[in-house]
Structure 1
Amino acid sequence: DVIVVGGGPAGIIAAERLAETGVSVLLIERGPANTVALGSTQELPWNNTLTPYDIPALASSMTSISGTKFCSDTASTAGCLLGGSSSINGLNFIHPPEHDWQRWPKGWSYADVSEAAARLYERNPGTTAPSDDGKYYNDHAYKVLAGYLDSKGWSEIDSIEEPNKKHMIYSRPSWSIKDNMRAGPARTYMPFAKELPNFTLKLDTKVIQPIRSGSSITGVLTLAADGSRQIIKVKQGGKVVLAAGAMSTPRLLWNAGIGRSDALDIVKSGATRNGVSLPAQADWIDLPVGHHLQDHAQIMLQFNAKSNFSAYNFNGIATNPVESDLDLYYQGSGPITQAAQRMHLWTSAKGADGRTRYLQGTASAMASGVITVRSFLTHGTTTVGELGITASGNTVLNTKPWLIDAEDRKAMSDFVQWWLDLTSGSNSTLSYVTPGATPDDIIASKMISGDHWVGSAKMGVDDGRRANGSSVVDLNTKVYGTDNLFVVDASIHPDLPTGNTQSIIMITAEHAAEKISAFKVGAGSGNSTTPTASPSKRGLHRHGRRMQRDFRRHSW
């Protein structure tokens, strides 16, 4: 009845919630499992029941661990395994403030999605206190920065308990950690899906394209790890749901002949080589796929500390953890239960254009004697970029979406200057690593992606096929010009959130599943055979079970 393409955070949630309604659901993920329980063979040398993806303290070290399943064909970092980027990211899990939905369309206000948020938090609440003993380990960076912020009138809060406070506040990091392991939908939703007889998971299988006949999607073309190809058909009246992420869902749309002609011409030029069967040009659907790409601009600020502390050896955990720390971990406590960040902080600034822009700092201390504050321009930014595609099928950045708007650049520049001023006093125990650097110097040399991509298949009421239309999907998340093709991942988000995107991606998928389930394909034509019951607000399993902790030592 339903094929969901992409087993990342949005895809897992949508697939599980749709399966709860009784329809048959196939979830297709291009990569392997992320946990031993689900079939991963990437066991840790010191525990054959765990993988590196499970361990909170390894979350910011994934790029240094051999075999981490990153995608090789995307314009920026993405995870190609079950859980998607929620299995390889740094574990930041920010509960969005209500204002994050202020520019979303009708049916997607905070009031509309609040029940979806509650359903998510029942299963995947996040935590600011991951160690069972209630302690915080390797806490030097937090204490130092708190002293500076307190002196400037900032307030300490718990960002989970008070998510709406986002001006001159700081918090212990909010992490997607549960039972001392990486959480995320692969751990908090997938076990429930696996219990359902009408749910099927297909791993190590890449979807090349949805198969489209006019406005109807009849199935998907897949490529297995052994090189074999298969068309998997969806039932009449069934639905195909794209959840490959903001970097990959556009490729699936383009490969189905959905997008502007410049991108589709590129796809056409490489179609034979890539095994893509584009519809006839007369059947192309002219939508602005890739045209509203947004991201948090990021500047990494590093400060030398006069107290030359020793940084924790996060990378060493993968092969040779400190024995005493491992003992604590098996008791559910200690530094291995924490991710690498040590503080989240936010403030805001109103620009000359009257728009309020939010800024986030994520602090850590991963090098001895150095405190790093990753600074992000978040909600309120107006800069947009464009995602494109190459003839080989890789997605690329045609236009980078960072600080093009003058007020965006000023907000970030002022934030950088604030940090330089804060740490420049004669009594300061911190100093910027490059003496004399200006905000312009720092932005020019240090600006990188926040890897918080949204908007590449934007949702809205302005149908992108029409003059000045900017949207790719409608308010039911259905692709304009199609009968039964939907998108549920960050591609459809029309605006950037104030914090990292993981939580809002999951909330959106929860709400989208409700809308997709209620939508009747071919309404009025009598050709729909898909059940249309909405997911229960409680779901089959409202209260996520406490997953059993299985920290047995490796048996030699």
Structure 2
Amino acid sequence: MHIVQRWAVAASAAASLTSAAPSSYEHILQSRAACNLNSRDTWDYIVVGSGPAGMPLADRLSEAGHKVLLLEKGPPSSGRWGGTMKPSWLQGTNLTRFDVPGLCNQIWADRNGIACTDYDQLAGCVLGGGAAINSGLYWKPPAADWDTSFPTGWKAADIKPAVDRVFERIPGTTTPSVDGKLYQQQGFDVVTGGLKQGGWTSIDANTENDKRNKTYGRTTYFFSGGERNGPLGTYLVTANARSNFQFWTGAGVKRVVRNGARITGVEVECGGQTGTVSVTANTGRVILSAGAFGSPKILWRSGIGLTPELNAVKSSSDGSSMIAQAQWINLPVGENLYDHVGTDIEIAHSNVVKYDFYAAYNRPVQSDATQYLNSRSGILAQSAPNFGPMFWDIIPGSDGINRHLHWQARVEGSRASKFFSPSPLVSDHQPNISASMTLTQYLGTGSVSRGKLTINNQLRTTVSMSPYLNNAQDKAAVVQGVENLRNALKNVNGLQWVRPTASQSSAAFVDSIPANPGSRNSNHWIGTVKMGADDGRAGGTAVVDTNTKVYGTDNLFVVDASIFPGHITSNPTAPIMAVAEHAAAKILALPAAA
């Protein structure tokens, strides 16, 4: 069928569709409040940032009876919340590009109006943050994630109730298609067949979450009903149903407004205007949940950080309105930057079938689009680019530290390969026989390398020191992990090694990849507002205490990935939500004036 005819058929199917999405969409949109900078309303809590931390926080705080305002500087994402960004075949439905799992790769082809423009790395400035644009990967964290680097009060036993609450709300699934089927699993079969031959063991990642050594399993997603959902379809929905909650989109926070230690509100830019939104006198609180880049930026613009960064802000367009230097709070904001170290292995096999998810955005296969629209089933209900398997390894270091590796397989070429590029828009999507697969190794828990985030006088945050492999034992773990994988897959008949080549040593291969964000970036940034008991004003390393309150302030908190002291094993979405659940309980338990 000609491609124009395909579009017409898909559009017709969409228009006649009775959506599987909740019937309360119209009610939700009608109940949303517009940004109102002239209001004299005050709020018990202002939560800045609507990502996987901000949404659970807003839900739990409003559930406790407090008046809560959630601010997001980006636009709506999901159709549930008034989002409109979508391809033509979704017209006539309440779905957007953010709702359909198989369209998540579009962020790499088109990020206009979605990605933050004031950071030098990719981050989502859109309702839902990273949880709106990522692949939806979702694992229950192993105990080692908490016990290795988190402080007292945040160990695995402490945070388990919070983890359990997250997974009660969002159980996750390994079969996102509503029909219960998995599509195009040839790549999964090739890799798991080799791992099994190599002595690795199959597990269920979310019920056997502490078995993360020489194990593999199906990919788990936070999707439900064939759509993304996740925190956007759970925590934000229940918060929004309460009369004591509002959220504003297109509302960017410049700084917190403070008088010494006391924060009185936030300065907001919205609709071309700037104004102050206030917290309740004496008892109100502000919580920054803007992520590992956004929360530090707000702190710096609020006079909280180290002198070089605060001087950069002072010399910027903020200078005339910046808080007086006598009220600056000296804390190591931007230090302790970390990201999963990404190392891409590339293999090819004649059994592997590639699906063109990039072309599916504007020119979907008619039968696949119709199947998804009519029943939320098929390959478009799976996350692009067809993930699986996931597998894990632990490398003991000569320094006595166990380093945890998470491996993530997907059917596409690596970023360093000729195979990796968005496919040209073509009218047919035939299987690509001998397709390549990328097996990305993520170095997480136990790694000790760190980098630094800074801000310049253009108010742009930049990674000024790379956090990748600046420790010899971290690099040794990466090399050994590559070697372990090569040994596990060595008996797979017909397997082609693209990167590294069969003749290249694992050490030489790892050395050949630059240790910079362009080559190693996983976009799992953490740590820039480190949590700990060692007050950074007194020579310590922490910016927030173990109640997540910023040292030197009375009522300013930070709850997001930026407070993680060290990295975790795999995708951080579920751990971030657990941190938000745990932090909400701690904050609510504090005295009203604290």
TM over 0.5: yes
- 1:438-477 superposed Cα distances (whole Å, 9 cap, x missing partner): 433444336411211111101110000002x000001110
Quick one: structure 1 residues 126 and 443, their matched pair in 2 at CA, closer, same or farther if it must change by over 3 Å?
A: farther
- Inter-partner Cα distance in structure 2 for 1:10 and 1:166: 25
1:85 alignment partner in structure 2: 130
Does structure 1 conserve the Cα–Cα contact (< 8 Å) formed by 2:549 and 2:558? yes
Instruction: Tell me, yes or no, if the aligned pair for 1:128 and 1:158 is still in contact at 8 Å.
Output: no
Match of 1:496 among 567, 572, 585: 567
> For structure 1, which segment, 513-522 or 469-478, has the greater mean C-alpha deviation from structure 2 after superposition?
513-522
Cross-structure match for 2:526: 454
Higher mean C-alpha deviation, range 291-300 or range 514-523: 514-523
Aligned to 2:14: none
Output the amino acid matched with 2:115: F
Structure 2 counterparts to residues 127-276 of structure 1, below 5 A: 127-224=173-270, 226-236=271-281, 237-270=283-316, 273-274=317-318
Match of 2:504 in 1: 437
Q: In 2 relative to 1, CA 376–443 (structure 1 residues): closer, same or farther, beyond 3 Å?
A: farther
- 50-59 vs 308-317, which deviates more? 308-317
Partner of 1:548: none
CA shift at 1:422, angstroms? 4.7
Query: Which residue in the other structure is 2:33 paired with?
Result: none
SS of 1:431's equivalent? Answer: strand
Q: Which of 312, 333, 348 is the matching residue for 1:289?
A: 333
Q: Which residue of 2 aligns with 1:96?
A: 141
Could you say if the C-alpha distance between residues 191 and 416 of structure 1 is closer, same or farther in structure 2, counting changes exceeding 3 Å? same
**CA deviation after TM superposition for structure 1 residue 304, in Å:** 2.4
Q: Does structure 1 retain, via aligned residues, the 8 Å contact 2:301–2:318?
A: no
**Match for 1:304 among 321, 336, 348?**
348
Q: Distance in 1 between matches of 2:509 and 2:405?
A: 19
Within-5 A mapping of 1:22-171: 22-47=65-90, 48-65=93-110, 67=112, 69-102=114-147, 103-171=149-217
- Following superposition, the deviation at residue 309 of structure 1 comes to 4.2
| Contact 1:483 1:521 (8 Å CA) reproduced | no
Contact 1:74-1:396 at 8 Å conserved across structures = yes
Query: Which amino acid is 2:533 matched to?
Result: V
Q: How many residues align?
A: 518
Whether the 8 Å CA contact 1:44–1:50 is kept in 2: the answer is no
Kindly indicate whether the alpha-carbon contact (under 8 Å) linking 2:547 and 2:583 is maintained by their aligned counterparts in 1: yes
Q: Bigger CA drift: 474-483 or 66-75?
A: 66-75
Comparing 493-502 and 403-412, the one that deviates more: 493-502
Letter in 2 for 1:311: K
Instruction: Establish whether residue 403 from structure 1 lines up as the match of residue 469 from structure 2.
Output: yes
Q: 1:426 to 1:142 in 2, by over 3 A?
A: closer
Contact 1:168 1:347 in 2 (8 A): yes
Cα offset, 1:111, TM superposition: 1.7
Kept in 1, the 8 Å contact 2:194–2:492? The answer is no
Aligned to 1:534: none
Instruction: Give the aligned partner of residue 322 of structure 1.
Output: 365
What code does the residue aligned with 1:312 have?
A: Y
Cα distance in 1, alignment partners of residues 274 and 227 from structure 2: 36
Residue 9 of structure 1: SS of its match in structure 2?
coil
Per-residue deviation, 1:432: 2.6
Q: Is the 8 A contact 1:75 1:247 kept in 2?
A: no
Question: Quick one: structure 1 residues 92 and 136, their matched pair in 2 at CA, closer, same or farther if it must change by over 3 Å?
Answer: same
Q: Tell me: CA distance 1:294–1:309, structure 2 relative to 1, closer, same or farther (3 Å).
A: closer
| Structure 1 residue identity aligned to 2:504 | A
Give the C-alpha shift of residue 67 in structure 1. Answer: 4.0
Q: Structure 1 131/276 Cα, relative in aligned 2: closer, same or farther at 3 Å?
A: farther
Q: 1:402: Cα distance to partner? A: 0.9
Alignment CA distance shift 1:139-1:426 (3 Å):
closer
CA distance in 2, matches of 1:84, 1:427: 42
Q: Which moved more, 1:430-439 or 1:12-21?
A: 430-439
What amino acid is the match of 2:286? V
Question: 2:221 & 2:99 partners in 1: Cα distance?
Answer: 13
Structure 2 equivalent of residue 540 of structure 1: none
Gaps of 5+ in 2: 1-43, 414-431
Q: Secondary structure at the match of 2:239?
A: helix
Structure 1: unaligned runs, 5 residues or longer: 524-556
1:542 equivalent in structure 2: none
Cα deviation, 1:39-63, whole Å, max 9, x if unaligned, reads 1121332223111111111223322
CA contact (8 A) 1:479 1:486 kept: yes
Q: 1:13 aligns with which of 56, 69, 74?
A: 56
Q: Give the CA RMSD over aligned residues.
A: 1.8
Aligned residue for 1:510?
581
Matched-pair contact (CA < 8 Å) for 1:255–1:277: no
TM-score (norm 2): 0.84
CA distance in 1, matches of 2:487, 2:66: 59
Does the CA-based 8 Å contact 1:246-1:456 persist in structure 2? yes
Q: CA deviation at 1:119?
A: 1.4
Bigger shift: residues 318-327 or 434-443? 434-443
Q: Secondary structure at the match of 1:380?
A: coil
CA spacing shift, 1:426–1:254, aligned 2, 3 Å: closer
SS state at 1:282 partner: helix
Q: 1:211 aligns to what SS in structure 2?
A: strand
CA distance, structure 1, for counterparts of residue 232 and residue 493 of structure 2: 48
Distance 1:109 1:434, change over 3 A: closer
Question: In 1, are the aligned partners of 2:78 and 2:96 still within 8 Å (CA)?
Answer: yes
Partners in 2 of 1:391 and 1:301 — Cα distance?
A: 39
2:484 maps to which residue? 418
- Counterparts in 2 of 1:396 and 1:164: CA distance versus 1, 3 Å: same
Q: Would you say the 8 A contact 1:484–1:521 is kept in 2?
A: no
My pick for the range that moved more, 182-191 or 476-485, is: 182-191
1:368-410 per-residue CA deviation (whole Å, 9 max, x = no partner) reads 4101101111111011111111111111111111111100000
Deviation at 1:366, TM superposition (A): 2.7
Cα separation, 1, equivalents of 2:388 and 2:319:
46
CA contact (8 A) 1:6 1:244 kept: yes
**Is the Cα contact below 8 Å between 2:187 and 2:353 reproduced in 1?**
no
Q: Is the 8 A contact 1:36 1:43 kept in 2?
A: no
* Residue 463 (structure 1) aligns with: 535
What displacement does 1:317 show?
Answer: 2.3
Instruction: Report the alpha carbon displacement of residue 425 of structure 1 after superposing the two structures with TM.
Output: 6.3
Cα distance change, pair 434–406 in 1 and its aligned pair in 2 (3 A): closer
Cα drift, residue 262 of structure 1 = 1.2
Q: For residues 70 and 450 of structure 1, what CA distance do their matches in structure 2 show?
A: 15
